[in-house]
Structure 1
Amino acid sequence: MSFTVYKSSAGSGKTFTLVREYLTLVLENPWKYKRILAITFTNKAANEMKERVINALLQIGNQQQNPLSGSVAVMFDQLKEKLKMPDEKLVENAQMVTQLILHHYSDFAISTIDSFVHKIIRSFAFDLRLPMGFEVELDTEETLRRIIDLLVNKAGSDEDLTNLLVKFTQAKTEDEKNWNIEDDIYNVAKLLMQEDSQKQVKTLKEHSIGDFIKIHVVISKFIFEYEQQLQKFGDKAMALIRQSAVGEAAFAQGNRGIYPWFNRFAKGDFSRQKPTNTVINTVEQDKWYSGKASAADKAAIDSIKQQLSDVYLEILQHIENNEEKYKISQAVRNNLYPLAILHEIEQILDDYRSENNILLISEFNQRISKVVMNEPVPFIYERVGEKFQHYLVDEFQDTSVLQWQNLLPLYENSLSTNNFNMIVGDAKQAIYRWRSGEVEQFIQLPKLYKSDDLPLIKEREQVLIRNHEAKDLIHNFRSAKQLVEFNNAFFKIVAGLLPENYREVYANAAQIAGSSNTGGFVEIAFYKNDQDEFDKETHNLNRIVEIIHQSEAFDYKPGDIAVLCRNNSSASLIAAHLLQQNIPVVSSESLLLAASINVRTIISIARMLVSADDQIARMELLNWFRQNKKMEQDWPSSIEQWVKGAGKDFRIKSFFGNLEKFGIKINSDRLLELSVYEFCEEVIRGFDMQNSNDPYIPFFLDSVLDQMKDPGFDLKALIDWWGRKKDRLSIVVPAEVNAVKVMTIHKSKGLEFPVVIYPFANEKLKISKDKLWVDPGEIIPDLNTILVDASANLQETRFEESYLEEKGKSLLDLINVLYVVMTRAADRLHVISDYPPKSAESVSIPVVLKHYLQTANHWQDDLTIYKFGDENTRNQNKEKPGGQQKPIDLTTSADWRKLVSLSLQAPEYWEIEHPAGDSEWGTLIHKMLSKIRSKKDIQEVVSAFEANGLLDFEIADKIGNQLRHFITHPAVEPYFNPEITSLEEFDLLLPNGDIQRPDRVILDGDKITVVDYKTGRKSEKHVLQVKKYIKTLQQVGYQNVFGVVLYIYEKNPVEVVK
């Protein structure tokens, strides 16, 4: 047995190979299915592999009834040859394995590496000092955002932290940047989750906030003094020029010469410090005058040129002596303040984990690594090592260093007992470096990447080397022959653009066409800005539509076509345009929740409640009305009137009141009392969205529900969450829909399509990592590691090598992305790019395309479309299965308050003998009136009763209106004068121990008025009851006593008791 490394390429049958090796093991011994662990990169890939394994087993086991065909027939022949077993035995074992897997499915171990590590961590939670019932938090970004909120909230209570945050904000303001510091802190906080930053972060935590502030002061002082000196030199030179009364045009090269060079320094512009060749020639070759200079100008320049030359040399000397330190100081300064609080962030994160009983998924490998790196036989793997004997890893090029090092003990243990293990990957498709994937790790196998200072890792490396067997998968079973040949030629040439140490990635990229399709077509189309009146965007969109229609003419259906984009914004733009052209589209980007006007309206209502003067939210709501044809001429009569309604004169309650004109009943006070999820449902019901059959709404509600586990998730948190997530949240649709697929290149990885269109192929080379870890040396002696901005300014500094290494990796990222997109097509590939510049200062996709065409002798300056292969390539597989679509009604939950109302004091509020009807209603009215001293109290009392579950919101509105009508009646209002003194439900104790309780007693000097409320019709017994109250008060000494009965529902509500 061996440690087999399969090096694959696009379409080379990587999954086929994995399934074949899995079947080789289980068909030899069916019980081995329990002893195999197959690891893939995504859940989708894991499910696909499971499906492929089971389908292959079913077909092999059932081949007597249904003869084998396609890839399974090829695989069966290879299995027979390798296992040397008769057909009957293979069929018998296949049937047995199928039965074992289906009856013991939990032992069918094909999963992602995160799922595998999670199981280990869960099993050894106690040993790893984790709470036993911890929950896995998948959304690292959301968690870090919450941590930063908690950090900022500490400002004011922690003196050092407050001082730093204030200084950070001031520094950003002085640099004329957005003063909001939370994004800067978040970008650095992510380092806590990144595998390749752990060592540096650990070192930095040894320093206090005060240490970083002192370093910032020193660096800022040096930068200021350096720039101040340059400005003095500039002022000195410009003073000489002004004194001589010479203008810019008199100097050589005018606005590109020495005059503007001096002037930039004088104005405080230090962006371009080095002199250009023109400036150098002016001084060193004594070429000071322009052709337009007059004799007087020349004489004036001659009088000062020596002094200007001296200033020029002073500037050069100043730059030479200090430039490296200046560049490094600038690169360091921007990151000092965020780095200073990393330790504080980690402490808050630890507390947050404990309080919420969570573990971030990004921490899995770090937790395991702390054990694996320090133990020859890690205890956490003892059980795993006993269970599994074979390990098969897919997509190895995307596996991080830490993930691979964590798996090494398992491979070491398995290889020591002579078991088969394998890895498969393709370095050319390594496009996940931002997830800590390292392509060098795959290239160097069986040697281990980044293992120099780890003795245990070096020992395990020797085990891999002794058992290593390399195999190349060189056939392409996906693409037509001429497509394969084009890509072979293309990437052989393009690989020459890579730094020498990365050319190995494409050294064996050439493939042999394995497809029976001998056709294939490639088109590269460049767009010249001056060739027609359309702009770049319009040209790309129109060309996509043309290609789709051309493809349909060659028998391709919309579902056969994929449009691949570099980013989500392009995908959304394309999807919207295709839909406008009545072309069916399916895309996670086109199906973003943000595409739903209903979802955006829910968010807009939230925004208006948080900030009534949110004009964007109001415009979004106006858009909803227009789309739902609910606009009327009188309200609002125009968009302008709608927008001008914002500001101090705008009243949110009157706005919601106006909604009733359209049958939309929403109470703003009530909305503010609801949880976020209930708020969303209330808006859906209020706007009758549940009858729109909008598929986006249930997905939106599910996403909101996921956030509800955070107790601080209120309306403002909803708005912030939506702002961060709206470009990623999408609905899920079946894969087999007959529609053009629009997706990002990253999401297309591993997929194939008959026709591929790659528009907006214009990306320029940019550094993938915007920050680099470096050792600042004597420039910052107090720190042995620091984070710097990765920019061209690092060139000609001691960090140039680090910058160029990252630039080389970024170029490989760009070429690899191009490889992925150009190898997705089975039949036809269309690339739409900008026309490349005549002389390129930097690498871009147009430059790469031109480089190939020139090197292959295809380039012509006047040609914009290049065609390769058979332009008439047609669809060879016209029939595609498809299901019928059936609309599903959208349902939302009913308002539970209409079904259940909680009464907290039933015996007091209800008359027990008559728990319903007028009696209960009257008791409730009495209780509310006992809380109302004047008409100003009505809304507050109604809201309080509603909040306590004593009223639902519809009854609350009704009873509130009734109470206002009653209390503001001219005959009743004097009894609710806020200036008078009154006692509500005042107890009168009788001599026999009985208690009388009038509803209201009003004290006005020596005059007393007894008030009783009634909800029924007028009756003599009501008058007699008040007379009893009057008599009681007179018996205890009050002589001037009067009484009234106030009837709430009578036209003449006041009955005076004489």
Structure 2
Amino acid sequence: MFTLYNASAGSGKTTHLVIEYLTLCFRDIEKYRNILAITFTNNATAEMKQRIVETLTVFAFQKYEQFNGSQKAIFDKIKNNLQLNNAEIEKKANLLLENILYDYANFSISTIDSFFQRIIRSFALDLGLNLNFNIKIQLDEFYTQAIDTLLNRISSENKELSDRVLEVVKIKMEETGNWNVEKELLNFLPIIYNERAYQPLKAFEDVSASELHEESKKLFATINEIKNNILHLAEEGNRCIKNLSDQSNDFHYGKNGIFGWFEKIIASDGKNVKVGANITKAIEEKGAFTKNGMDVQSGDFEKLSSLVYTIIEESNKLNSQLNISKNLKLLLLLVDLKKIMDEIKMRDNLFYLSETNAKIFDNIKDEETPYIFEKLGNRYGYFFIDEFQDTSKMQWENLLPLLKNALSQHYYPFPDETGKVILFGDMKQAIYRFRNGDASLFKELSTADGYKKIINPNDKNCEQYDLQTLDTNYRSYKYVVDFNNRFFLFLKSLQEDEKVKFPLAEEYYRAVEQKIGNESGTGFVSIQFKTEEEEYLNKKVREAVDDAISKGFSYKEIAILTRGNDLGSQLGQLLTKKSIPVISADSLLLASSDKVNVVISTLQILANRENKIAILFIIQHLLRQDISNIPPAAWEDSYNFLLETFKKQGINFNPKSLIKLPLYSLVSEICRIFNFSQADAYIAEFLETIFQFENNKGKELFQLLHWWEEEKGNLSLSSAEGMNAVTVSSIHKAKGLEYPIVILPIQSYKAQATQSSFWYKNEDEESVFPYYLINCTKQLEDTKFEEKYNEEMEISAIDQLNILYVAHTRAKKGLYIITGDKEESRGNYAKFLHLFINHETENSNFIFDEEKNKYWFGNKDFKNEKIAEDYKTDDPTLFSLSFTQFNFNQLITTSAVTLSEEQEMGIYVHNYLSQLQTFPQTAEEIEKIDFSAEDKIYIPAIKKALLKIVNDKNLAPYFSNDKSIRAYNEMTITNAHGELKRPDRIVFLENEVKVFDYKTGKELPVYQQQLDSYCQLLREMGYENVSGQIIYL
């Protein structure tokens, strides 16, 4: 069965995916081994696995009344599909959960890249690879190597290559005045591994560099020939005009008409041939040629008309050749560089991750039943593909043999049924075409004819084809859905006379209107047009954040989505300066942490005591002074001043001892010296990074520092969940997510090509160039590339519309739009909104605030009254869990700390209770506990602590084993500053949250302060009625 889900934003796509998955598995508990679910990001993979396991856990261990809305919907649907009762579903869920957890390796949910990598690894020899190849993801260092190798090969013996490089240098000098081409080649090189370049570069392998070089010279000669011909024709036309009259006012439009046209062409060296309405009219109507009654003979008129038409024709040829020539010299070097990249790959036994799809495609494209898929075809008979609109053409071609095989086979224990292929997607959310996503696949498979053509030509009545449209929005509140319905229906219908239109919108946005699934709330949309205020955008974003807070939202419920990273970075810095906590790509970088930078600077000093910048940074940190206030002595003898500063502050800093330590031990010791706690999220992540580096990359300090400089822009906190902070993100990264409040600062709509260039197949049989690489610009109009250019612009218009759709549909309760001047030129987002509002003049849901130049749609006075409900969830991943990999050698070499017998006993009992999932309820149950041999000497103390809990009636409700109680031991919570907090036990009752901490020894005020901080953090997360209690053991 082939099923395609057309799932608009917020329509419960993941819910339906879980329904399909569990329905299949509940029919046969072993079936999960035969299912392959494919996603496009690691986060999506983790979310899908989590959702399935979480749903099974709830079905197995909770009562129906405790399910949330989504879980009830899944349960009811499965119950109806399979005609099962509640007890049967509970039993099956329990068994399936157990099977998956004990056989997790066969729980096959992965990204498409990971899946293809498994194939590469499994069939390395068949694919011509060594078994021990190294995968490389980042290729920048190899690009640099390739360019260096290319330039080093320039010599008198290698004249052709030298000529090619020198020609590129010459062009670079003419265009920019700079002869350095390395940067341009670095920017150009990634094209090699773009999927669209696979076929063209493959074709170039059959052509010698000499042939290409010779033809390129001919092409440039042809360009000069055409230019000379145009100049000759223009000069002849100019003579004809002057023979008629040398006075411009004897001709219509004077110098702006036919009189000055030929002269302008001559002045531009034949390159600037513009045919306006004045010229067209002059050569089409004899009477529009001249004025003042001047008589023009028919022969003269026909000759001038012929010259104009011939020049236009030659100009079109010239423009085509010029567009070919722009990348021609670079293209020749690209072919050279591709060969060098292959040499590096062979020399160092590498495999470039970006070649994965092409490598598989190369080996299966000519086979009807590819041998590398035989084992996989026997194992997997059920395929789920999420976000199908983002699948590339080559990825699809690689998957197709497996999918067709599944649809043609029968799998035990269903002898009368074939396998299943279930695709989930939405063309309106196709925003990754720049990464080769091809939504046309989804569009084609959305029709029965497309299904028969691509999947199963033999299914003439489409009995095995099922198209499901999910058209109810369960995510967003009423007015948010209503606004988006109206706005995108309006944009879809824009006509030519509105000066903007989306030619493909009718197909892509056919199912844009959604039903409202969340009737419980009203919601709102705010549209802020530009005002005359200074720093308008920054100010309005801050006002939107403040307004959301005033409506009862917390920082963590707010997201600011931007089109580009630059604006996001700017706004993140602005909010941070205003003391508003922010989570952004910049703020999550390890290099954004002052503490991490202190550690790195210390390492740099150990590597080079003359590193004055690093030394001054540490001095500044120690003295807590601005750099301008640091004493002069620090500048004169920085290193000795630093040592003296350490000494004065009582810090034992011994460089000779430190430098002898292994890397992880060294970094841990530096953290101890500066009193940096591992509870700090950045320090914890940094230590984990050092641990991984030491085990996988190198053990020398200079290696670490070099690697840090290369990679620090890519190293981030792995999770920021739980932080009460405003999220600042690009629209692309926000895809698939939802936020109670979205702030959308979009100043303009970009009417430009998504693809900056395209490959054009050369049909000229006499040419040795199989393809040309053409820049996609307006200059392609009136050339042989015009059709391709228009096609790209039409698809790009949809790309831009889809970005708006994704941005608008992330909001659950409120959407703040902050845009530019509504009177600005076409292609402007503000213009779209202004046209839309004018279209909705009769809609009473719009309220205009003239003073602020702002419109409100929906409930302007909306108040968020369900903070606690929104954030109280059965999902333990609300908290940021942390599992640290410890360096065992570091643990056993740490200086020993002598504990008293009482302290040791207390720590053991504390740890025992913290790991206990089920508590005894009576003294008799305590006596029946089967203690381990390791527990032996601590048993009396453990029993005493348990008896204290059992005998305290006030504690009983919080240590009950009732399934309705949700309790978590040592759950890690990350606060707004990235610090990790770990209460011993958190218990969630229906109307109360209770936090417990186990302590030994004397009662100290610091213990209560610690407990209070845990409670406050939970309150900030939206929980109500939170209290805490210390249990002294």
- For the criterion TM > 0.5, the same-fold answer is yes
Cα distance change of structure 1 residues 430 and 883 upon mapping to structure 2, 3 Å threshold: closer
3-state SS in 2 of match to 1:834: coil
- Root-mean-square deviation (Å): 5.3
Match of 1:495 among 492, 496, 504: 492
Q: Which residue of 2 aligns with 1:847?
A: 831
Contact 1:234 1:264 in 2 (8 A): no
**1:198 CA drift (Å):** 1.6
- Measured in 2, the distance between the counterparts of 1:623 and 1:327 equals 60
Contact 1:353 1:359 in 2 (8 A): yes
Contact 2:448 2:465 in 1 (8 A): no
Contact 1:630 1:662 in 2 (8 A): no
3-state SS in 1 of match to 2:207: coil
- Measured in 1, the distance between the counterparts of 2:119 and 2:347 equals 23
Contact 1:584 1:740 in 2 (8 A): yes
**1:68 CA drift (Å):** 2.8
Q: Which residue of 2 aligns with 1:119?
A: 118
3-state SS in 2 of match to 1:322: helix
Contact 2:165 2:333 in 1 (8 A): no
Match of 2:373 among 373, 381, 385: 381
Q: Which residue of 2 aligns with 1:93?
A: 92
Q: Which residue of 1 aligns with 2:922?
A: none
Cα distance change of structure 1 residues 30 and 849 upon mapping to structure 2, 3 Å threshold: same
Q: Which residue of 2 aligns with 1:866?
A: 855
Q: Which residue of 2 aligns with 1:413?
A: 405
Match of 1:328 among 320, 335, 344: 320
Contact 1:24 1:79 in 2 (8 A): yes
Contact 1:592 1:726 in 2 (8 A): yes
3-state SS in 1 of match to 2:189: helix
Q: Which residue of 1 aligns with 2:507?
A: 504
Amino acid at match of 1:96: L
When structure 1 is superposed on structure 2, of 97-106 and 698-707 the one drifting more is: 698-707
Q: Which residue of 2 aligns with 1:16?
A: 15
Q: Does 2:787 align with 1:801? A: yes
In the TM superposition, what are the counterparts of 1:431-580 in structure 2 within 5 Å? 431-445=431-445, 467-497=464-494, 499-527=502-530, 531-534=531-534, 538-580=535-577
- Measured in 1, the distance between the counterparts of 2:636 and 2:364 equals 61
Q: Which residue of 2 aligns with 1:79?
A: 78
**1:430 CA drift (Å):** 0.6
Contact 1:172 1:178 in 2 (8 A): yes
**1:747 CA drift (Å):** 0.7
Amino acid at match of 2:327: N
In the TM superposition, what whole-angstrom CA distance separates every residue of 1:374-420 from its partner, at most 9, and x where no partner exists?
Answer: 22222222222222221111111111122122222222222222123
When structure 1 is superposed on structure 2, of 751-760 and 854-863 the one drifting more is: 854-863
Match of 2:581 among 580, 584, 588: 584
Amino acid at match of 1:588: A
Cα distance change of structure 1 residues 682 and 868 upon mapping to structure 2, 3 Å threshold: closer
Q: Which residue of 2 aligns with 1:762?
A: 748
In the TM superposition, what whole-angstrom CA distance separates every residue of 1:753-795 from its partner, at most 9, and x where no partner exists?
Answer: 1110000331321101111122345598332421111111111
**1:466 CA drift (Å):** 5.6
Q: Which residue of 2 aligns with 1:789?
A: 775
Contact 1:140 1:361 in 2 (8 A): no
Which has the larger Rg?
Answer: 1
Contact 2:825 2:831 in 1 (8 A): no
**1:861 CA drift (Å):** 14
**1:572 CA drift (Å):** 0.5
Cα distance change of structure 1 residues 92 and 744 upon mapping to structure 2, 3 Å threshold: same
In the TM superposition, what whole-angstrom CA distance separates every residue of 1:856-905 from its partner, at most 9, and x where no partner exists?
Answer: 4479998942221111222242123686999x9x99x99xxxx9xxxxxx
3-state SS in 1 of match to 2:368: coil
Contact 2:320 2:783 in 1 (8 A): yes
3-state SS in 1 of match to 2:190: helix
- Measured in 2, the distance between the counterparts of 1:851 and 1:488 equals 15
What are the ranges of 5 or more consecutive residues in structure 1 without an aligned counterpart?
290-297, 303-307, 638-654, 900-1058
Amino acid at match of 1:806: E
- Measured in 2, the distance between the counterparts of 1:388 and 1:269 equals 65
Q: Does 2:728 align with 1:742? A: yes
Amino acid at match of 1:565: T
Amino acid at match of 1:210: S
Contact 2:2 2:465 in 1 (8 A): yes
Q: Which residue of 1 aligns with 2:387?
A: 395
Cα distance change of structure 1 residues 507 and 354 upon mapping to structure 2, 3 Å threshold: same
Q: Which residue of 2 aligns with 1:31?
A: 30
**1:214 CA drift (Å):** 2.7
**1:317 CA drift (Å):** 5.2
Q: Which residue of 2 aligns with 1:356?
A: 348
In the TM superposition, what whole-angstrom CA distance separates every residue of 1:964-993 from its partner, at most 9, and x where no partner exists?
Answer: xxxxxxxxxxxxxxxxxxxxxxxxxxxxxx
In the TM superposition, what are the counterparts of 1:82-481 in structure 2 within 5 Å? 82-156=81-155, 158-176=158-176, 178-224=178-224, 268=268, 273-277=273-277, 316=308, 319-416=311-408, 417=410, 418-445=418-445, 467-481=464-478
**1:464 CA drift (Å):** 12
Cα distance change of structure 1 residues 147 and 835 upon mapping to structure 2, 3 Å threshold: same
Amino acid at match of 2:728: V
Contact 1:521 1:868 in 2 (8 A): yes
Cα distance change of structure 1 residues 566 and 599 upon mapping to structure 2, 3 Å threshold: farther
Contact 1:564 1:745 in 2 (8 A): yes
When structure 1 is superposed on structure 2, of 11-20 and 874-883 the one drifting more is: 874-883
Cα distance change of structure 1 residues 64 and 74 upon mapping to structure 2, 3 Å threshold: same
Amino acid at match of 1:819: Y
Cα distance change of structure 1 residues 855 and 658 upon mapping to structure 2, 3 Å threshold: same
Cα distance change of structure 1 residues 446 and 64 upon mapping to structure 2, 3 Å threshold: closer
Amino acid at match of 2:373: Y
- Measured in 2, the distance between the counterparts of 1:231 and 1:625 equals 73
- Measured in 2, the distance between the counterparts of 1:778 and 1:838 equals 45
**1:460 CA drift (Å):** 7.5
**1:330 CA drift (Å):** 1.9
Q: Which residue of 1 aligns with 2:815?
A: 829
In the TM superposition, what whole-angstrom CA distance separates every residue of 1:810-854 from its partner, at most 9, and x where no partner exists?
Answer: 1110000000000000111111111144652xx342333334334
3-state SS in 1 of match to 2:110: strand
**1:247 CA drift (Å):** 13
Contact 1:184 1:338 in 2 (8 A): no
Match of 2:805 among 819, 838, 851: 819
Cα distance change of structure 1 residues 719 and 830 upon mapping to structure 2, 3 Å threshold: farther
**1:199 CA drift (Å):** 1.6
In the TM superposition, what are the counterparts of 1:612-631 in structure 2 within 5 Å? 628-631=625-628
Cα distance change of structure 1 residues 445 and 58 upon mapping to structure 2, 3 Å threshold: same
**1:802 CA drift (Å):** 0.6
Cα distance change of structure 1 residues 264 and 546 upon mapping to structure 2, 3 Å threshold: farther
Contact 2:228 2:270 in 1 (8 A): no
Amino acid at match of 1:170: K
**1:34 CA drift (Å):** 1.3
Cα distance change of structure 1 residues 698 and 63 upon mapping to structure 2, 3 Å threshold: closer
**1:64 CA drift (Å):** 4.3
Q: Which residue of 1 aligns with 2:911?
A: none
What are the ranges of 5 or more consecutive residues in structure 2 without an aligned counterpart?
295-299, 411-417, 495-500, 647-654, 873-877, 896-1033
Q: Which residue of 1 aligns with 2:952?
A: none
Contact 2:212 2:768 in 1 (8 A): no
Contact 1:586 1:741 in 2 (8 A): yes
Contact 1:191 1:198 in 2 (8 A): no
- Measured in 1, the distance between the counterparts of 2:63 and 2:594 equals 56
Amino acid at match of 2:67: L
Cα distance change of structure 1 residues 355 and 327 upon mapping to structure 2, 3 Å threshold: same
Contact 1:43 1:111 in 2 (8 A): yes
In the TM superposition, what are the counterparts of 1:663-742 in structure 2 within 5 Å? 663=643, 729-742=715-728
When structure 1 is superposed on structure 2, of 311-320 and 46-55 the one drifting more is: 311-320
In the TM superposition, what are the counterparts of 1:32-47 in structure 2 within 5 Å? 32-47=31-46
